[in-house]
Amino acid sequence: MPVEFIPAAHVRTLTRRIEESRQRAIDRCGPTPPASDAGYWERLFEANAAEVLAALTAVQLAAGFVVHYRFFGQRGRDLMVRPFVARAGTEVDMIRRLIDWHPPPDALASALSNHSTRDVELFYGHFSFPATAAGVFEYWLAMQELWAGQRWTHSHLIASAEELSQITAADGWQVLHPVECYEPAVVRSNGSARVAVLMHSPLGRFEITLQQVDIAEDHSLRFAEPILVASGPRGYLV
């Protein structure tokens, strides 16, 4: 199965669209209230989801459906939310009361490996995307943003040798596993796919990891254990 790479320029275009979508959602929802204001956070994440899906045009939500959220509170600096999809106009308060929180798929690589969820029924199964490397990558980006996990929202994708070199040239960095390819890679196989990306995260300690994500035929995501590529100085405490 051939490996297909996503050009760095395209990666930067998509991530810039996501950043702009986040800002539009914040501007629409107004000043940030206390973390206990569940209604505000649900509106903000729902506005962000709508903006992101409008910006990442390869990813399509089924006609007549919208992305909703339940807000479960705050843990450290992390806002605990869970996305789900419902038909537009549906009263979703009952759904919110019935679903439980679980970590986003990138929180711990093995956290959900043996845990049954209804994420395909309530979320993944409502999306479609082109069966191309670019379509797979854009879908992964959209799902990362819609899950809104702490690690993702604080991270930066690396897509070129120049970006990696600029970061690791700073004091306190050590490259542990040199890599030969820097652009996101996609391997497609019979309806499923694997995405491999370099991600720069500042949580706990500045690190660059190779993240490998399997996208199943039902569009669900499962993360493999990340490979530590480079380690830097102390990062943000969470």
Quote the DSSP letter at residue 224.
P
Quote the DSSP letter at residue 171.
T
Q: Is the Cβ–Cβ distance between 124 and 67 less than 8 Å? A: no
Q: Binning pLDDT at 50, 70 and 90, where does residue 113 land?
A: low
- pLDDT given at position 39: 92
DSSP-assigned beta bridge partners for residue 84: 68
- pLDDT given at position 183: 97
User: What would the pLDDT profile of 66-101 be if each residue is shown by its tens digit?
Assistant: 999 999 998 877 889 999 999 999 999 999 999 999
**DSSP string for residues in 93-160:** HHHHHHPPP---TTTSTTTTTT----HHHHTGGGEE--SSHHHHHHHHHHHHHHHT-HHHHT-EEE-S
Average pLDDT over residues 2-23: 97
Residue whose pair of structure tokens reads 């970061």 in the numeric block = 167
Q: Is the Cβ–Cβ distance between 71 and 82 less than 8 Å? A: no
Q: Is the Cβ–Cβ distance between 21 and 52 less than 8 Å? A: yes
For residues 129 and 111, which has the higher predicted lDDT (pLDDT)? Answer: 129
Q: Is the Cβ–Cβ distance between 63 and 99 less than 8 Å? A: no
Say yes or no to pLDDT of 110 above 60.
no
Say yes or no to pLDDT of 112 above 80.
no
Quote the DSSP letter at residue 197.
E
Q: Which residues contact 205 (CB under 8 A, 6 or more apart)?
A: 231, 232, 233, 234, 235
- Report percent pLDDT > 70 for the chain: 96
**pTM for this prediction:** 0.94
Q: Which has the minimum average pLDDT: 103-107, 187-191, 234-238? A: 234-238
Say yes or no to pLDDT of 237 above 80.
no
Average pLDDT over residues 41-67: 97
User: What would the pLDDT profile of 138-161 be if each residue is shown by its tens digit?
Assistant: 999 999 999 988 889 889 999 999
User: What would the pLDDT profile of 119-137 be if each residue is shown by its tens digit?
Assistant: 999 999 999 999 999 999 9
DSSP E strand stretches across the chain: 4-5, 60-61, 65-75, 78-87, 127-128, 156-158, 174-175, 185-189, 192-201, 205-215, 221-223, 227-234
For residues 33 and 131, which has the higher predicted lDDT (pLDDT)? Answer: 131
Q: Binning pLDDT at 50, 70 and 90, where does residue 238 land?
A: low
- pLDDT given at position 193: 98
